[in-house]
Amino acid sequence: MTDRPTYFLQTLGCPKNQVDASYIEGLMEGGGYAAAATPEEADVAIVHTCGFIESAAQESVDALLELGRLKERNPGMTLVASGCLAQRHGRELAEAMPELDVVLGTRDWPALPSA
């Protein structure tokens, strides 16, 4: 058990997103967060989205909706959308999903630990 806040990162889409996920993990851990094994254990749940492949974009939306339902049971959790879908359609995501706390595009990742 850790006394640090925890994060869970779900990465979807292309192989580049897998590389980006390593960067995001480093940012979060450098910001004082510890990785959680499941979203239920996390203080912050991050969905690293894909916005270019239609099926992956839908998978990203589905993952955000699923974690949004988890957040209803755990209102202290922060829900984050990052990545390409957030970059391309961040405003629409934020408007359509009030359960989202943070929407960060691909250029904004360094702000993630403090956001």
CA pair distance 39, 59, nearest whole angstrom: 17
Q: How far is CA 71 from CA 11, 39, 53, 106, in A?
A: 18, 10, 27, 24
pLDDT per residue, tens digit, the chain (115 aa), is 558 999 999 998 878 888 889 999 999 999 999 999 999 999 999 999 988 778 888 999 999 999 999 999 998 999 999 998 998 888 999 999 999 999 998 777 777 777 7
Choose among 4, 97, 80, 1: nearest CA to 39: 80
pTM of the full structure: 0.90
Q: Coil, strand, or helix at residue 9?
A: strand
